[in-house]
A and B are shown apart, each in its own frame.
Chain A
Amino acid sequence: GEDVEQSLFLSVREGDSSVINCTYTDSSSTYLYWYKQEPGAGLQLLTYIFSNMDMKQDQRLTVLLNKKDKHLSLRIADTQTGDSAIYFCAEIDRGSTLGRLYFGRGTQLTVWP
């Protein structure tokens, strides 16, 4: 089955860049997602990337995809204290057309002022 791995913790200073990494195993994944979860809240979709892309940029967010190594990263530029949250990497197996998401355990990002 699908397996998504993430490091559990990341701490950065306000204004620095954050890079959150993720590896996945399903080579048939067509879309990969980054979700943000703030304390006590649901998940908010931050961005996604299609598997035929290498990079996607959206304001302060940059997603890099290395399909050969099955490695996905999320870079947050000029990290702010409001970015403190848990970030989940997820993949979808479109091959099955079922649309279920497979999530990593999440990376707790702490931003120090």
Chain B
Amino acid sequence: NAGVMQNPRHLVRRRGQEARLRCSPMKGHSHVYWYRQLPEEGLKFMVYLQKENIIDESGMPKERFSAEFPKEGPSILRIQQVVRGDSAAYFCASSPSFSDRGYNEQFFGPGTRLTVL
């Protein structure tokens, strides 16, 4: 059972370009979360999606950032007109539907390290 896959692992963009980050959740997982890790900081929640639905995007900047999780294919985090402050590691996590135990383990991908020149 493959883990959470993210690609690319490293992405370099110039200011003003677009960045597309992909996340394939673990098989059978229907919940996807995106987190951003700025240098020497903890992970900050950005957005939570289920198939074809955005459940909570309260952590995502209102402009330039968008996320989707289509019925088929990976979840995409899209950053338009990137700026230097967008340089960070972006992690995707997936989880199954909440179990009866209420314990929700999130499995993290290896991250995409975005560098904006």
Residues in chain A within 8 A of chain B (CB atoms): 4, 30-31, 35, 41-45, 48, 50, 88, 92, 94, 97-106
Residues of B within 8 A of A (CB-CB), count = 28
B: residues with CB less than 8 A from A are 4, 31, 33, 35, 40-45, 48, 55-56, 59, 91, 93, 95, 98, 102-111
Specify the chain B residue showing the minimal Cβ separation from A97.
B98
Q: Are B42 and A104 in contact (CB under 8 A)?
A: yes
Check A31–B45 contact: CB distance below 8 A: no
Shortest distance in angstroms between A5's beta carbon and chain B's nearest beta carbon? Answer: 10
17 new A-B contacts at CB < 8 Å, known A30-B102, A88-B42, A105-B40: A31-B104, A35-B108, A41-B110, A42-B4, A42-B91, A42-B108, A44-B108, A45-B105, A50-B103, A94-B104, A98-B56, A99-B48, A100-B48, A101-B45, A103-B35, A103-B42, A106-B42
